[in-house]
Structure 1
Amino acid sequence: MKLSLSIQQAFEAPELVLKRVYLKKVIETTLRYIDTQSDCEMGIACVNHDESHKLNLQYRDKDKPTNVLSFPSDLPDEMAQILDTFPLGDLVICIPVVLQEAIEQNKTPIEHFTHMLVHGTLHLMGYDHETSEQDAEEMEALEIQILAKLGFENPYLEQ
């Protein structure tokens, strides 16, 4: 499995330096863990409060910024099967929200950002935590296991 990654960093923070190689490692670890074998492509946009707020309102009817938004590819399966690289979709990560949540949760910025990257990637792969308690538990368990593979603690433990 190969990953083609497009990164748009419209918002940067000195306390969270993001390297392409690190982002690819996190995403590839996530995809391999859930047994994805196809070559994939994905986009990531790191944005500010205003952009996240606007997109969250437009696509989810929520009048506030959020940590991560997932936009799965809507390519029909028939089309996806003839492509060499499967488009997963795009993630929009609001860096200021992630940094604030990291402080509130007593986590390092990279620790929380990594969790949001794993979380968003799972959403692109069809996992959901809002439809049922069982789905939420399955997604949370996957996040915990994938983050452990990456060397991080359970993100759901109170610190």
Structure 2
Amino acid sequence: MINFNYESDFILENEEAIATWLSAVIESENKSEGEINYIFCDDEYLHKINVEYLNHDTLTDIISFDYTMGNEIGGDIFVSIERVLDNANDYNTSFEEELKRVLVHGVLHYCGYKDKSDEDEALMRSKEDEKIAMFHVEQ
């Protein structure tokens, strides 16, 4: 089950379409869907989590806590809307496209993809692109 929670003024307009797409992404990776909670917040909220739980004193766009058990993926994914907006501007893309990238990025981590090495990051970007394209096909 995919849930959307809000700790900021931001509200996701197309929750049902996004949840359907993310479920399809999970299925396309031969995983089963557990409980996934997206928490939309601001920089201050996410920075506090980054410092308190990960000991990282930096801003970030996403932090995920993975509760995957076997083939059933699940967890909490915190998304800073401020970072997503800044990243969209930095990468010259729309806010909607960057948000989809961040949302699917968390799910792909749960599916086992990493992004610490250059090789892993290249595969992650390729998978993000592949899964974002699925959204356009389904809608």
TM bucket, shorter chain: 0.7 to 0.9
CA distance change for structure 1 residues 19 and 90 in 2, over 3 Å: closer, same or farther?
same
Q: Which residue of 2 aligns with 1:157?
A: none
| Partner amino acid, structure 1, of 2:7 | A
Which of 58, 71, 81 is 2:52 aligned to?
58
1:78-117 alignment runs, 5 A limit? 86=72, 88-117=74-103
> Structure 2, unaligned stretches of length 5 or more?
none
Number of aligned residue pairs: give it: 137
Are the counterparts in 2 of residues 47 and 92 from structure 1 also a CA contact under 8 Å? yes
The Cα of 1:32 is off from its aligned counterpart by 2.2
Which of 3, 7, 10 is 1:10 aligned to?
7
Q: Which residue of 1 aligns with 2:64?
A: 70
Q: Larger % of helix: which?
A: 2
Q: Which residue of 2 aligns with 1:149?
A: 134
TM-score with structure 2 length normalisation? 0.85
Question: Considering only aligned residues, what root-mean-square deviation do their CA atoms show, in Å?
Answer: 2.2
TM-score with structure 1 length normalisation? 0.75
| Partner amino acid, structure 2, of 1:9 | Y
Any runs of at least 4 consecutive aligned residues in structure 1 with deviations exceeding 6 A, and if so which?
none
> Structure 1, unaligned stretches of length 5 or more?
81-85, 153-159
Q: Which residue of 2 aligns with 1:129?
A: 115
Distance 2:21 2:62 in 1: 15
**Larger-gyration structure (1/2):** 1
State the Cα deviation string for residues 76-102 of structure 1 (Å, max 9, x = none): x4xx8xxxxx45111000011111111
